[in-house]
Structure 1
Amino acid sequence: MRLHVVSDVHGNARDLARAGDGADALVCLGDLVLFLDYRDHSRGIFPDLFGTENAHRIVALRTARRFEEARVFGAALWAELGVDRAAAIEQAVRRQYAELFAAFPTPTYATYGNVDMPALWPEYAAPGTTVLDGQRVEIGGLVFGFVGGGLRTPMRTPYEISDEEYAAKVEAVGEVDVLCSHIPPEVPELVYDTVARRFERGSRALLDAVRRTRPRYALFGHVHQPLAARMRIGATECVNVGHFASTGRPYALQW
């Protein structure tokens, strides 16, 4: 059995269309949407609306952790644009989703990232795409558990939830062979982004589940340029697969 796993697609529909080649199934761990590329500030919904120079500015503010200034700056841009913010973002996300979901092969198993909009997924997911969040599925004789979304941060991305709600989803998944999530377990080496120069939010509940249930693998993304791309926690191989937007290469899991 060969499975290809991707996360943090961020608008890369071209490579997504080939991500399942040679595999029995594709797993996607979320963040299909590209709102703002921290490596190339000309790409994404934000620069499309406000231009690259304004994207440079807001990335600089966020990287410096000046989140309140970034919010004020962004609000001023929206006010100057004079359109309904929620409607404009949803329209842009819909355009991306139409292209990205059409690129999924059959079968695909997917969960949400923190920048995704779960309410829209039923409109775009084809019958060959199974969406899971706080749920389990058997693939090739192994049990996979899926936990989507992210934890609350000053970034206020669309699908951030409380630690308690997230922990409940981890608990609902229970003991599995492969634990799939968008965000990593809360380990410093796994949550630090070397380009954004900050610690992203990882999940203590995921870390506790890895130590307690000892899955074969814990697969995740969210941190695009991690200090450590993989490490072992006890019996579990933890692997960051969140490089798809820049590399276009899936992670291959075989058994």
Structure 2
Amino acid sequence: MRVHVVSDVHGASEALARAGEGADALVCLGDLLLFLDYADHARGIFPDLFGVDNADRMVELRTARRFDEARALDQELWAGLDRRAVIEAAVRKQYGELFAAFPTPTYATYGNVDVPTLWEQYARPGTTVLDGATALIGDRVFGFVGGGLRTPMRTPYEVEESAFAAKVAALGEVDVLCSHIPPAVPELCYDTVARRFERGSEALLEAIRVTQPKYALFGHVHQPLLPRTRIGRTECVNVGHFNRTRTPWVLEW
């Protein structure tokens, strides 16, 4: 059995269409949308609307964790526009391209920048969307937990710790634990380029310690200090920033 795993696609629909080549299934751990590319400020919904100069400024403020100033700039730029309608139109365009690129079968969960309410409108037969649920792929049970935890970034799909923990608990014992965010291990959560800790999940960490799945797979941290580590018998792996690498992580058994 061969499964390809991707995360943090961020608009790379052409590469996504090739990600399942040679695999029995594709697993996607979310963040399909590209709102603002921190590596190339000319890419994404934000610069398309407001230009590269404003994108440069927004990245500078967020990277410096000057979130109040970033929100003030955001409010200034959106003044006079129907924010909800404009963003939804751009999101729908990206989702149309991205879901059309998924091979069959694909098993997918949400990232923190995704909009779950729209997924059911774009997921075609052959794409299974899971969040707090399991799927049998080959002879292994895969558990999926989507979204992220609350942060000052206020991305679209962030939930309270209790809600996230409930989704983790609903899985029970699995062979492969799949999530968008990592377990709360500092080395797995630190982004060496952004120079900050992303939020990891204590509930995921506890589930790994107690149930010891063979693998815990995740993304979210684009340039992690440590891309993989072992917790007991569990191999914890950041499957990579697909938008940059264009290469899926391969799981074979």
Common fold by TM > 0.5: yes
Report what 1:46 is aligned to.
46
In 1, Cα distance between equivalents of 2:172 and 2:240: 23
The range that moved more, 189-198 or 94-103, is 189-198
Q: Post-superposition shift, 1:226?
A: 0.5
SS in 1 for 2:169: helix
Q: Post-superposition shift, 1:196?
A: 1.1
Aligned pair 1:14/2:3, yes or no?
A: no
| Residue of 222, 229, 232 corresponding to 2:230 | 232
Q: Which amino acid aligns with 1:146?
A: F
Report what 2:193 is aligned to.
195
In 2, Cα distance between equivalents of 1:194 and 1:90: 32
Report what 1:58 is aligned to.
58
| Residue of 114, 117, 121 corresponding to 1:116 | 114
Q: Post-superposition shift, 1:109?
A: 0.2
RMSD of the alignment, in Å? 0.6
What does 1:175-254 correspond to in 2, within 5 Å? 175-254=173-252
Report what 1:33 is aligned to.
33
In 2, Cα distance between equivalents of 1:238 and 1:47: 35
Contact 2:9 2:16 in 1 (8 A): yes
C-alpha distance after superposition, 1:49-71 (max 9, x if no partner): 11111111111111111111100
What does 1:33-182 correspond to in 2, within 5 Å? 33-79=33-79, 82-182=80-180
In 2, Cα distance between equivalents of 1:195 and 1:49: 26
SS in 2 for 1:17: helix
In 2, Cα distance between equivalents of 1:226 and 1:38: 15
In 1, Cα distance between equivalents of 2:60 and 2:17: 33
Identity %: 75
Q: Which amino acid aligns with 1:91?
A: A
In 2, Cα distance between equivalents of 1:167 and 1:53: 40
Q: Post-superposition shift, 1:242?
A: 3.3
In 2, Cα distance between equivalents of 1:138 and 1:53: 47
Q: Which amino acid aligns with 2:12?
A: N
Name the TM-score, length of structure 1 as normaliser: 0.98
In 2, Cα distance between equivalents of 1:88 and 1:196: 28
Q: Post-superposition shift, 1:197?
A: 1.1
Q: Post-superposition shift, 1:243?
A: 1.2
Q: Which amino acid aligns with 2:97?
A: E
C-alpha distance after superposition, 1:80-125 (max 9, x if no partner): xx21111111110000000000000000000000000000001100
C-alpha distance after superposition, 1:112-150 (max 9, x if no partner): 000000000011000100000000111110000000000
Contact 2:3 2:23 in 1 (8 A): yes
In 2, Cα distance between equivalents of 1:160 and 1:242: 21
In 2, Cα distance between equivalents of 1:204 and 1:30: 20
SS in 2 for 1:171: helix
In 2, Cα distance between equivalents of 1:197 and 1:36: 18
Name the TM-score, length of structure 2 as normaliser: 0.99
Q: Which amino acid aligns with 1:90?
A: E
Structure 1: state its 5+ residue gaps.
none
Q: Which amino acid aligns with 1:8?
A: D
Contact 2:240 2:249 in 1 (8 A): no
SS in 2 for 1:205: helix
Q: Which amino acid aligns with 2:117?
A: A
